[in-house]
Amino acid sequence: MAVYEHAYKPYAGPLTPEWSRFLVIPRHAYRDVFGSKLFTGFFAMCFLCPLVMAILIYLHHNLTAMAIFQINLRDLAPINGFFFQFFVSFQTVLAFLLTVLIGPPLISRDLANNALPLYLCRPLSRAEYVIGKMSVLLIMISAMTWVPGELLFLFQSYLEGAGWAARNLWIAGAIFVMSWIWILLLALLSVTISAWVKWRLAASAALFGLFIISNAIGFTVNGVLQTRWGGLFNLTIIMKTIEDSLFREPNSAGLPSWMVLPTPAAWIALALYCAACLFLLTRKVRAYEVVK
Amino acid sequence: MDNALQKTPEPIVEVAVLPKAPELVPAAPVINLDGLSVTFGGRPILKELRGELRGRAIGLLGPNGAGKTTLIHTLLGFHPPSSGTAHIFGRDIRSDAKQIRTQIGYMPERDSFIANMSCVHFVRLMAELSGLPSEAALERAHEALFYVGLGEARYRKVGTYSLGMKQLAKLAQAIVHGPRLIFLDEPTNGLDPPARQRMIELIRQIRDSGKAHILLSSHLLRDVEECCEEILIVKQGRIVVSCNLEEERKSNLKFLEIETRGDREAFVEAIATLGCEYALTSERRLKLILQNGVEIRDLYRIAGEQEVQIRRLNFKRDSLEDIFLKAMEGGNGDVGHVAGLPDRGKQ
């Protein structure tokens, strides 16, 4: 089928490994995403926090610099679990904004253009399609959360010594696990909303609203019924509870003690949210909908 | 005696002759339907479909709602069969759906594309999803777009294309990975006559290349007649006709239409003595069925003896429209009537 031949010719060359084909989706998506200078600028800004924190870690171990600036960083910002928890919390806020920017059109665009049959008539399963779409977010958010987080941990370990690293290895684990929980939740919520809401603005609003409304509902239920279980409707509280348990910082949000959710309940609620997302995705991501 | 009666002229034969396929001689059937049934919400859509399809270009015909598109979707693995199965190139659609899809190209009926992508980018993406490495995919995307005639417009966004161009873009994405079997669902829908002709030409070129089989679903009989050598007519979820058009046409070579001048009464009486059935259709025309052992030259001999001129002699063949209409009239789809079998009725 060479251009000059004008004849149909089958393809006889090598094929890519089957497992890697879902990665085609994020690769092509990035081409569009980074076509926007505004977005590229925002994504670059997401690395400011890791840079600032790396400088702080460096200054912690540079007595000359501390003497010049006449500050004692070891007291002002000790490098401990809370230091890294703050980093993860800050970066996940940025990750949420990034998700709002690029998440909504991921599947809705394909649905609006009836492109799903074109994907699914190829050797690509529905699960691989969804994973491919989620990978757009998984890779980008990873690049701004756990990857720089672990690098900061390694940097601190290098400067502080192996003893510190051994004592605080749980921090590395917490950075990794908490980042991935946020990544998976954001990606799942994003693609689910994208699959059900075709209009991009509405999908972005729905993603915002999910956190804001669930927050409002949770606190209302807690206030009216004087119970802690309203927190199960509040995604922010659920995530904060899990984060506190992983970083060993009880109630870092400063909630009244009767409002604090038990950690197992937060995990179960999170699992239920994810299961609901998967269920909704299974219902919607089909080549063709069968109308009864 | 008229010169026309002195020697036997070659009859006018309107049978399309397909070029030989150089590479594609399937030992196994392309598609083997093995009691395939599909049910949606308790309602049977496809009912126990059985049959083997081997042609290079297979036409899938049927009225609206007959189950044509559902059959294609089921073969692609979009809908699970409720019972039975089907095999494509010997692979089971239930267990080997992914492997099957590596060998299939699909051009859907409805507009399907990614609007804000350039066409070459879109086709390349589809090629990569089919497993082609990035560079090969880009190369094939350019080739496919030139092949279908969108070479000059390949950098435009698909959303800005006209309907005809979108159809061609859909064809390009269906063939970009060089599939062995191409499903075309209503490929000429909404096309103006030149665009339709262009599409038909492309389909015929692919068919004649002998490197891919085509399953063409259409409600336009002319499209199927121009492209396909084998047809499958579906009605109410059942196969009512499955036949090879070429064989069907050849089997009708005994049916003649004759136009005469002269004493027709004596001529038909003489023909009747040969055992041929005939019917007078107008003042000068008649239809007849040649009996075994009776040759065309016998007709000319009798015409000479009766001093009748044979002005026109055509083989009457069943057009696809005849076959289709007979299939539609022949029951409600509850009884499978398979043309080409000995018990079929023929007028």
Chain segment A135-170, per-residue pLDDT in tens: 999 999 999 999 999 999 999 999 988 899 999 999
* Mean pLDDT to the nearest integer, A7-30: 90
A288 close to B (CB below 8 A)? yes
Distance from CA of A102 to the nearest CA of B (A): 15
Q: What is the pLDDT of residue A60?
A: 87
At A74, give phi and psi (nearest 5°).
Answer: -65, -30
Cα dihedral angle (B62, B66, B70, B72), rounded to 10 degrees?
-10
Residue of A nearest to B182 (CA): A121
Beta-carbon separation of B179 and A110 below 8 A: no
Determine the Cα–Cα distance for residues B145 and B142; give it in Å rounded to an integer: 5
Which alpha helices (DSSP H) does chain A contain, by range? 24-33, 37-45, 48-60, 63-69, 73-76, 81-102, 105-112, 116-120, 126-144, 146-160, 162-167, 169-196, 200-225, 235-246, 263-284
What is the number of CB-based contacts under 8 A between chain A and chain B?
129
Asked if the model's pLDDT at residue B249 lies above 80, the reply is no
Would you place residue B13 in the very low, low, confident or very high pLDDT band (cuts 50, 70, 90)? Answer: very low
Q: Which residues of A touch B179 (CB under 8 A)?
A: 10
Q: What is the pLDDT of residue B15?
A: 35
Distance from CA of A89 to the nearest CA of B (A): 35
Asked if the model's pLDDT at residue B24 lies above 60, the reply is no
Q: Find the range with the poorest average confidence among B8-17, B32-41, B66-75, B86-95.
A: B8-17
Determine the Cα–Cα distance for residues B5 and B304; give it in Å rounded to an integer: 6
Max mean pLDDT among A1-10, A58-67, B91-100 falls in B91-100
Q: Find the range with the poorest average confidence among A256-260, B94-98, B162-166.
A: A256-260
For residue A113, give the nearest of B99, B113, B128 by CB distance: B113
* 3-class secondary structure, A129: helix
Q: Select from B112, B116, B132, B139 the residue whose CB has the most chain A CBs within 10 Å, as the one to mutate to test that interface.
A: B112
Beta bridge partners of B85: B34
Distance from CA of A245 to the nearest CA of B (A): 42
Beta bridge partners of B87: B32, B92
Nearest C-alpha neighbor of B147 from the set B212, B72, B202: B202
Beta-carbon separation of A114 and B112 below 8 A: yes
> How distant is the alpha carbon of residue A242 from its chain centre?
15
Cα dihedral angle (A2, A8, A12, A14), rounded to 10 degrees?
60
Beta-carbon separation of A1 and B143 below 8 A: yes
Give residues 144 to 173 of B whose Cβ lies within 8 Å of A.
144, 146-147, 151, 173
Of B22 and A157, the structure prediction assigns the larger pLDDT to A157
Q: What is the pLDDT of residue B220?
A: 85
Q: Find the range with the poorest average confidence among A67-71, A86-90, A227-231, B79-83.
A: A67-71
Asked if the model's pLDDT at residue B10 lies above 60, the reply is no
Structure tokens belonging to residue A122: 């190829």
Contacts of residue A277, defined as CB under 8 A and 6 or more positions apart, other chains included, come to A188, A189, A191, A192
Contacts of residue A150, defined as CB under 8 A and 6 or more positions apart, other chains included, come to A172, A175, A176
Q: Give B117-138 pLDDT, tens digit per residue.
A: 899 999 999 999 999 999 999 9
Residue of B nearest to A123 (CA): B98
Would you place residue A265 in the very low, low, confident or very high pLDDT band (cuts 50, 70, 90)? Answer: very high
Handedness of CA A128, A134, A135, A138 (dihedral sign): negative
Is B203:B57 a contact under the CB 8 Å cutoff? Answer: yes
Of A59 and A70, the structure prediction assigns the larger pLDDT to A59
A202 close to B (CB below 8 A)? no
Tell me what percent of the residues of chain B surpass a pLDDT of 90: 38
Determine the Cα–Cα distance for residues A81 and A173; give it in Å rounded to an integer: 11
DSSP letter, residue A260: P
Tell me what percent of the residues of chain A surpass a pLDDT of 70: 97
Of B182 and B229, the structure prediction assigns the larger pLDDT to B182
Beta-carbon separation of B133 and A16 below 8 A: yes
Instruction: Render B226-269 in DSSP notation, one character per residue.
Output: HH-SEEEEEETTEEEEEEEHHHHHHTTTTEEEEEEES-HHHHHH
A13 close to B (CB below 8 A)? yes
A127 close to B (CB below 8 A)? no
What are the strands of the beta sheet with B91-92, ordered from one edge? Answer: B43-53, B31-40, B83-88, B91-92
Q: Give B301-311 pLDDT, tens digit per residue.
A: 999 988 899 99
Determine the Cα–Cα distance for residues A5 and B307; give it in Å rounded to an integer: 58
Beta-carbon separation of A288 and B73 below 8 A: yes
* Mean pLDDT to the nearest integer, A265-287: 92
Beta-carbon separation of B112 and A115 below 8 A: yes
Q: What is the mean pLDDT of chain B?
A: 82
Determine the Cα–Cα distance for residues B3 and B255; give it in Å rounded to an integer: 25
Would you place residue B296 in the very low, low, confident or very high pLDDT band (cuts 50, 70, 90)? Answer: confident
Q: Are strands B57-61 and B213-217 parallel, antiparallel or unpaired?
A: parallel
What are the strands of the beta sheet with B181-185, ordered from one edge? Answer: B104-107, B181-185, B213-217, B57-61, B230-235, B238-244
ipTM of the complex: 0.85
At B202, give phi and psi (nearest 5°).
Answer: -60, -45
Residue type, A55: I
Q: What is the mean pLDDT of chain A?
A: 89
Give residues 182 to 201 of A whose Cβ lies within 8 Å of B.
none
Beta-carbon separation of B106 and A292 below 8 A: no
Would you place residue B273 in the very low, low, confident or very high pLDDT band (cuts 50, 70, 90)? Answer: confident
Of A200 and B58, the structure prediction assigns the larger pLDDT to B58
In the structure, how many helices (H) and strands (E) does chain B have? 12, 14
pTM above 0.90, yes or no: no
Q: What is the pLDDT of residue B5?
A: 39
Asked if the model's pLDDT at residue B152 lies above 70, the reply is yes
Q: Select from B129, B139, B168, B211 the residue whose CB has the most chain A CBs within 10 Å, as the one to mutate to test that interface.
A: B129
Would you place residue A131 in the very low, low, confident or very high pLDDT band (cuts 50, 70, 90)? Answer: very high
* Mean pLDDT to the nearest integer, A106-125: 91
Is A210:A189 a contact under the CB 8 Å cutoff? Answer: yes
* Mean pLDDT to the nearest integer, A61-68: 83
Q: Give A205-259 pLDDT, tens digit per residue.
A: 998 888 888 888 888 888 888 888 888 888 889 999 999 999 988 877 777 887 7
Q: Give B315-330 pLDDT, tens digit per residue.
A: 766 667 777 777 777 6
Q: How many CB atoms lie within 10 A of CB A169?
A: 12
Query: Backbone dihedral region of B128: left (phi > 0), alpha (psi from -120 to 50 degrees) or beta?
Result: alpha
Would you place residue B64 in the very low, low, confident or very high pLDDT band (cuts 50, 70, 90)? Answer: confident
Structure tokens belonging to residue B197: 């002709």
Beta-carbon separation of A13 and B133 below 8 A: yes
* 3-class secondary structure, A104: coil
For residue A8, give the nearest of B98, B121, B175 by CB distance: B175
